A and B are shown apart, each in its own frame.
Chain A
Amino acid sequence: MLIIENLTKIYDNGFKALDNVSFEVPDQQFVALIGLSGSGKSTLLRCINRLIEPTSGRIIWNGQDITAISDEEIRYLRRRMGFIFQQFNLVKRSKVITNVLSGRLGYVNPLFSLFNYFPSDDHQKALANLERVGIGNQAYKRADELSGGQQQRVAIARALMQNPELMLADEPVASLDPATSHGVMKYLEDLNKEDGLTILCSLHFLSLARTYADRVIALKDGKLEFDGSPAEIDNARFKEIYGEDAVEVGIN
């Protein structure tokens, strides 16, 4: 159970990215986060694993207040939260397998990991995860030799190495073409349905949210604008979220 209570984030330049946002996410739900660019989706996701320090409010995960714990303790919590980025954020010059193994860094012996040593169990697991996202044969290529869709799948494999309970995804398909987008979203759906991961995923396209999400949360100017099932978003709601001039386009 993830509980967001009155979460507010104001950046140093005075920009208010999140304004008193509150909601709860029960375990194993697939939540899509929608809203215009700059509506605070990325900030919200990054506050949950404290890549960004919230200004005020609380985030409670499995009964623990994430906003109150020390930097050392947040490291231990982060291990159970996968994070997938729009730009994949792979180390492009490193091998695919190294990128995947780096998802294990929170668990392994820090001293050995400095010399690129990982237990053989972790190697097996990395290969298995690459196999699972369909790129088992690319393990020893350099990450930047792969296509965009393949790179995002490497990123998913890296997140899976963490044994996550919660997967945070920040526009995971915004840099991909429609067909590849569905491929990546299917893997996320698979993680949600089969492995029982809770998924909080920000999306540009409402059509994707309608296809994959159990629930849609919409942000507008940092405020919670809508919270409900995808089916509830009719034309009027859509215009409330995206503004009067917006027209729904979709990926089919």
Chain B
Amino acid sequence: MSEKQKNTPQEETRSALSRLVVVLAVAIGLIIYSYGWTVTEIDLSEPQEEQRQENVTRALRELLSPRLFQQEREVIEYDAPFLMDCTTGDAPQQAERNGSETIVIIEPACSDANEPITVQIINGTAGADARLRWIPPAEDGEDPRARPLEIIETEREDLVLDGSGGFTGSIEVPRIRRGEGQIHTLRVLVAIPAGQIEFSETALIVIDRMLQTIFMALVATTVAIPIASLISFFAAQNLMRRVRLTVGSMMMAVILFAVGIWLGSNFVSILGEWGLLVGQGDLFAPIGALVAFAIPIAVLVSVGWILARLQSVTDDSNSSAMQLLNTVITVSAVIFLLGAIGGLGTLGGEQITALGDSLRPAESDSIATGLQDAFGFSIWTIGNLLMILSEMVALFIRPITGVLTGFALASVGASILGNGLRRIRGVPSHVLAGIMGAIAGAILLVFLARIALWASLLGILPVLISSIIGGQVLSLIWKRLTRRRGEVGEIIVITNTQRAIEWVVFAIGAVGIFLLMFNTLNLGRTLVDGTLPPQTTVSLFGIDLGMTNYVFTAMLYGAILAGIGTAITGLQGTFPLGTLLYNTSRTSLNAVRSIEPLIMGLVFVIWVGIGPFAGVLALTLHSIAALGKLYSEQIENIDAGPIEALESTGANQLQTIIYAVVPQIIPPYIAFTMYRWDINVRMSTIIGFVGGGGIGLLLQQQINLLRYRDAGVAVLAIAVVVSVLDYASAYIRERVL
């Protein structure tokens, strides 16, 4: 200890140095922080200017005096005669004070322009508002133009009659080109409150728009829920980590998936379109529709029944032919059924909207007819919803069919051919894997390149994906060269150094391929010019390949890189499909989530026009990304025990998810959905600013028109609704969680 108290010169230097570093760091931090205050243009002189203070006071006062209520006013006019230019005649006789009648007296009753005169109101209604109008004499039967006057000198600031209904003040006679020597009229308009106090027009519009806003949030949230739930499973690491395939099955699944998409969207979707026609009653109306509707259900049920019988008898997987047949029948039946449901929905929707319309009375003037009107409208709304949903089915039936057929083909192919592939070992395994990998890689890159052709920034996408594959390939080669192959029973432990080196090798491969491909595709020019990648088509040996140079090059890269990679691993290598899906879905969720709904709203307004629909689309897209992430985090938090238990019973992965995962995530899903709805209401209040409909649009219009009292109503409504929903969602979350 005594030695330590005496510091050596080196130690002293070091401590002085570290002190210097701390001081420097603090100084640099201070400079950076101060720069923040400069950049944000914080300026205290501006808000102290009198004009600005006056403006802000007025704006705030108006915002805080929202035009919530209105009351009808009866306006009574009182006239007093006035002679312009006293030299042309006698001053007109003013009304006589005879006790109770309301009269207006001008004093003097004649003068020149710009002279002050005194206006006196006697026996008016106490506290009533009044306005003055100067009406020059009519010329050639023309309607005289009234001109509003300002009080220049009065006992009170605004023209309000006093407690006894009187008023006295001075005005300046206006300069009017005509009517010299003629009788002009000074008209006093006294507004007397009449009728009941009621909600103002602004308030009614605000309520209407607020409802629209709440429903925008509701629709966006509900549409986002199923999509986000589906994605959340792929974005949950604990579920995806276990999903692994052999390289052989994976490559075959990719190829079959692509084939399935092509078959599905071009051929199987015809079934769906028939279904649509049948459902709409265009083919065998109307009994045919019901029959056609029942057939696929019957087929589905019987396939399920046969499956159940087969399984309990053989206690093993079904024969290949049976599986294929089952898949074909099931997919066809499902697609036809989907089409039929869509068609039937359109038909039903039309009927229901018509019914709703017929129920609505021509005029609604009493409570009974009002209720009837509301009832008819409710029916109409339901029909309308049905029609929109059916229209969506009709719109998406081709892509849905494509994806469904792709999945079906990939899964049935994997289970039929998978056993065969598993038996291939040695050199044939590597050769076959290389060929399949090349095809799969080519398919993937062609798909990506097609997306990339869309905009110049997306042009990097195939390059990025290829460089990831390239990095993997190089690190695979490296592992082959450096890692010893274990004998049976031998244990190979991978050190952290080895891992780090492998990571560096991956990075080298990735960067190398990135640069190489970036140059080959001439992407630099594309990025600089902001134009799409060059669109020249490629022909090989005089045959036009029907694809552009860009797509072709990307395809070659994909085929070569993936081919090499899979040739190294062979058919029996492990393909971490789960990790791939996890990374892809997480990355896309984060990318979409980072774009503000306001910006999305801007784009959707261009697409679907100004109005709530654009806002709903923007909110939906953002909600999908946000909910997807929140949901997947909930899946990652669940108790893994039940999953283990269900896997132990021999349940398949889907069953495990349904029985072990879903019951655990329902409460947090409800809680986060409520939370999201709450956020969506808040966001939809401002999405109107970019034309997304809802109360934001109204608020923006009122602010632009400087109608702050009306804007105040909207602001008040937003505050009330948001805080009520905030409490409600907090309460529900507390109850559910």
Interface of A toward B, CB cutoff 8 Å? 6, 8, 10, 14, 16, 20, 49, 51, 55-57, 70, 72, 75-79, 81-83, 85, 87-94, 98, 102-114, 119, 155, 158-159, 161-162
Partner of A56, one of B422, B489, B641: B489
Nearest 6 pairs between A and B by C-beta? A106-B650, A89-B641, A105-B651, A79-B650, A89-B645, A83-B648
Bound state CA distance, A90 and B494, in angstroms? 37
Determine the residue in chain A with the shortest Cβ distance to B244. Answer: A71
Bound state CA distance, A228 and B625, in angstroms? 59
A239 vs chain B, min Cβ distance (A) = 29
Interface residues of B in 311-325 (CB under 8 A from A): 311-312, 315-317
- Contact across chains for B648 and A78 when beta carbons are under 8 A apart: yes
Determine the residue in chain B with the shortest Cβ distance to A14. Answer: B493
- Contact across chains for B655 and A114 when beta carbons are under 8 A apart: yes
B722 contacts the other chain (CB 8 A): no
- Contact across chains for B312 and A55 when beta carbons are under 8 A apart: no
- The stretch of B4-12, B364-372, B506-514, B660-668 in contact with A is B660-668
Bound state CA distance, A140 and B418, in angstroms? 42
Interface residues of B in 643-682 (CB under 8 A from A): 644-652, 654-655, 658-660, 663-664, 666-667
A175 vs chain B, min Cβ distance (A) = 12
Bound state CA distance, A82 and B655, in angstroms? 17
Partner of B659, one of A14, A78, A102, A107: A102
Q: How large is the interface on B (under 10, 10 to 19, 20 to 34, 35 or more residues)?
A: 35 or more
Chain B residue contacts of A89, Cβ below 8 A? 639, 641-642, 644-645
Given contacts A83-B648, A93-B667, A98-B659, 6 further A-B contacts (CB under 8 A): A14-B493, A70-B419, A76-B315, A85-B641, A109-B307, A111-B307
Determine the residue in chain A with the shortest Cβ distance to B648. Answer: A83
- Contact across chains for B312 and A107 when beta carbons are under 8 A apart: yes
- Contact across chains for A8 and B642 when beta carbons are under 8 A apart: no
B491 contacts the other chain (CB 8 A): yes
- Contact across chains for A87 and B488 when beta carbons are under 8 A apart: no
- Contact across chains for B308 and A114 when beta carbons are under 8 A apart: no
- Contact across chains for A102 and B650 when beta carbons are under 8 A apart: no
Chain B residue contacts of A87, Cβ below 8 A? 641
Partner of A162, one of B491, B650, B663: B650
Q: If A14-B493, A70-B422, A72-B317 touch, does A49 touch B654 (CB 8 Å cutoff)? A: no
- Contact across chains for B651 and A112 when beta carbons are under 8 A apart: no
Chain A residue contacts of B666, Cβ below 8 A? 93
Bound state CA distance, A162 and B304, in angstroms? 21
Chain B, interface SS category: helix
Bound state CA distance, A158 and B415, in angstroms? 28
Q: If A89-B641, A107-B311 touch, does A113 touch B655 (CB 8 Å cutoff)? A: yes
- Contact across chains for A102 and B648 when beta carbons are under 8 A apart: no
Bound state CA distance, A105 and B651, in angstroms? 5
- Contact across chains for A102 and B311 when beta carbons are under 8 A apart: no
Chain B residue contacts of A79, Cβ below 8 A? 649-650
Determine the residue in chain B with the shortest Cβ distance to A74. Answer: B650
- Contact across chains for B489 and A158 when beta carbons are under 8 A apart: no
Bound state CA distance, A10 and B666, in angstroms? 36
- Contact across chains for A93 and B664 when beta carbons are under 8 A apart: yes
- Contact across chains for B651 and A81 when beta carbons are under 8 A apart: no
Bound state CA distance, A8 and B489, in angstroms? 8
B490 contacts the other chain (CB 8 A): yes
Q: If A10-B491, A16-B491 touch, does A109 touch B649 (CB 8 Å cutoff)? A: no
- Contact across chains for A109 and B311 when beta carbons are under 8 A apart: yes
Bound state CA distance, A108 and B315, in angstroms? 10
Chain A residue contacts of B418, Cβ below 8 A? 70, 72
B22 vs chain A, min Cβ distance (A) = 37
Bound state CA distance, A112 and B308, in angstroms? 9
Q: Annotate B340-362 by CB proximity to A: 1 below 8 A, 0 otherwise.
A: 00000000000000000000000
Chain B residue contacts of A88, Cβ below 8 A? 641
Interface residues of B in 289-316 (CB under 8 A from A): 304, 307-308, 311-312, 315-316
Bound state CA distance, A20 and B648, in angstroms? 24
Bound state CA distance, A87 and B641, in angstroms? 8
Interface residues of B in 411-432 (CB under 8 A from A): 415, 418-419, 422
- Contact across chains for A106 and B307 when beta carbons are under 8 A apart: no
A189 vs chain B, min Cβ distance (A) = 21
Bound state CA distance, A8 and B487, in angstroms? 13
Q: Annotate B549-566 by CB proximity to A: 1 below 8 A, 0 otherwise.
A: 000000000000000000
- Contact across chains for A94 and B663 when beta carbons are under 8 A apart: yes
- Contact across chains for B645 and A111 when beta carbons are under 8 A apart: no
Chain B residue contacts of A8, Cβ below 8 A? 489, 491
Bound state CA distance, A35 and B658, in angstroms? 36
Chain A residue contacts of B650, Cβ below 8 A? 75-79, 105-107, 162
- Contact across chains for B489 and A57 when beta carbons are under 8 A apart: yes
Q: If A91-B663, A107-B311 touch, does A83 touch B645 (CB 8 Å cutoff)? A: yes
- Contact across chains for B646 and A90 when beta carbons are under 8 A apart: no
Chain B residue contacts of A55, Cβ below 8 A? 491
Bound state CA distance, A96 and B13, in angstroms? 71
- Contact across chains for B645 and A75 when beta carbons are under 8 A apart: no
Bound state CA distance, A72 and B318, in angstroms? 12
Chain B residue contacts of A111, Cβ below 8 A? 304, 307
- Contact across chains for B648 and A49 when beta carbons are under 8 A apart: yes
Interface residues of B in 608-654 (CB under 8 A from A): 639, 641-642, 644-652, 654
Determine the residue in chain B with the shortest Cβ distance to A102. Answer: B659
Bound state CA distance, A87 and B658, in angstroms? 21
- Contact across chains for A78 and B645 when beta carbons are under 8 A apart: no
Determine the residue in chain A with the shortest Cβ distance to B665. Answer: A93
B300 vs chain A, min Cβ distance (A) = 9
Partner of A51, one of B304, B639, B647: B647
- Contact across chains for A91 and B664 when beta carbons are under 8 A apart: yes
Chain B residue contacts of A20, Cβ below 8 A? 489
Determine the residue in chain B with the shortest Cβ distance to A83. Answer: B648
Chain B residue contacts of A49, Cβ below 8 A? 648
Bound state CA distance, A103 and B651, in angstroms? 8
Bound state CA distance, A20 and B488, in angstroms? 12
A215 vs chain B, min Cβ distance (A) = 23
Bound state CA distance, A90 and B641, in angstroms? 8
